[in-house]
Amino acid sequence: MAAAEPLETLAANAEESRRALARTRNAVILNVIQGYAGLLSQQAKAEQARKSWEKAKESLASTEEKAKVGLASELEVLQARLSLIQAQLAWEQARDDFQAQKQRFFQEQLGLVEERDLVPLSVDREALVQAVQEFLEKLDLEAAVEEASEVRAAKQKLQEAQKSLEQLQRSWLPTATVELTTGPTGWRLSWTLRLDLFAPERAAQVRMAEVQVTAAQLSLETARASARQKLLREVNNVLSALKALERLPLEEERWALEEEIARRRYEAGILSEAEWRDFLASKEAFLQEAKDRELALLSAYLSLQAALERPVDWEAWMP
């Protein structure tokens, strides 16, 4: 029994080391994927700002030409110039933010001094939604709570406290010694019974061990509550991202109808060129938001896998 306990301890330590290594791996993967997704989003925003600046330049040139023939007022020219300055400032700020974020990502996350071109992430929306839904259907939250690292550690401490208490309680029992000897008259069997009645500190030791068992039980319940709350938060993040993505088809249909209406109004002269460009910019922003929602669901899905201490299934979603 004494030899078995060290082997059990070694096996438990090896398992915990394996889990710790897996947690570290998952954390690194999540940081890289989430950082890369954020970088792509920032790049798209910078590109949108650049296009808005280009449109503002075209609008100013058009307004100045109209002013030459009396079709635009001086105030309209001033407003167009102001819009151009504002668009340029917004673009330069977005561009600088993107470059700084890109540099930090390559240096801190990838350890690269030289930057690389970004490769767009294209996620199969239907496949992702299906995978997430199936994952949630099979998820046993309470079983996952019991497998959480903090719960496993608390269970181990409780077992150790209970074992210490049992050893102290057994020390109260009498010990017997049996001896078999031989002599001139033949075999002789003798035995000795020993009972230690003079150990006043033993009761205090047992009481202290009982307190430690109670404290370990409370720690286990606290660990379970903490793990459950953490996992519920991750599940809710996935559900929120899933619902946002499931709304996309209807929103895309709405934008398609709005674009058709806006185009006809523009061709009929009801919408100005500036208003038409503003609409196209808004639609482009929505399209980028749609991509962000796909990556948000993927990120939440992988984060849930990491919280469950399972291998993060990231390769299936990378181009």
Q: What are the pLDDT digits (tens) for 250-304?
A: 999 999 999 999 999 999 989 887 788 889 889 988 998 999 999 999 999 999 9
Of 3 and 300, the structure prediction assigns the larger pLDDT to 300
Candidate from 9-13, 69-73, 300-304 with smallest mean pLDDT: 9-13
Tokens of 77: 């020219």
- Average pLDDT over every residue of 235-264: 96
In tens, the pLDDT along 193-223 reads 565 555 567 777 888 888 999 999 999 999 9
**pLDDT score, position 2:** 46
DSSP 190: E
First to last CA, the chain: 54
109-145 confidence digits (pLDDT tens): 888 877 788 888 888 889 999 999 999 999 999 999 9
Query: In this predicted model, which residue has the larger pLDDT, 145 or 186?
Result: 145
Question: Which two tokens mark 74?
Answer: 């001086």
Task: Indicate the residue type of 24.
Answer: T
Upper half-sphere CA count for residue 195 (Cβ side, 13 Å): 4
Give the tokens for residue 27. Answer: 């954390």
Region 60-81 average pLDDT = 91
Using only C-alpha atoms, the chain has a radius of gyration, in whole angstroms, of: 35
In the predicted structure, residue 6 carries a pLDDT above the cut 90: no
Helices (H), the chain: 4-68, 74-104, 125-138, 141-147, 149-170, 200-246, 248-267, 273-307
Mean per-residue pLDDT over the chain, rounded: 86
Average pLDDT estimate for 187-193: 60
Give residue 217's pLDDT: 95
Give the rounded percent of residues in the chain with a pLDDT score beyond 90.
Answer: 50
Query: Regarding predicted confidence, which is higher, 171 or 207?
Result: 207
Residue 109: exposure state from Cβ atoms within 10 A (0-12, 13-18, ≥19): middle
13 band by pLDDT with thresholds 50, 70 and 90? confident
pLDDT (average), residues 14-26: 83
The pair phi, psi for residue 51, each rounded to 5°, is: -65, -40
- What H or E segment, with its residue span, contains residue 188? strand 186-194
Q: Can you tell me the mean pLDDT for 154-183? A: 76
Q: How confident is the model at residue 1, as a pLDDT?
A: 46
Contact 157, 219 (CB under 8 A): yes
Per-residue pLDDT for 78 more than 90? yes
**Who wins on pLDDT, 87 or 176?**
87
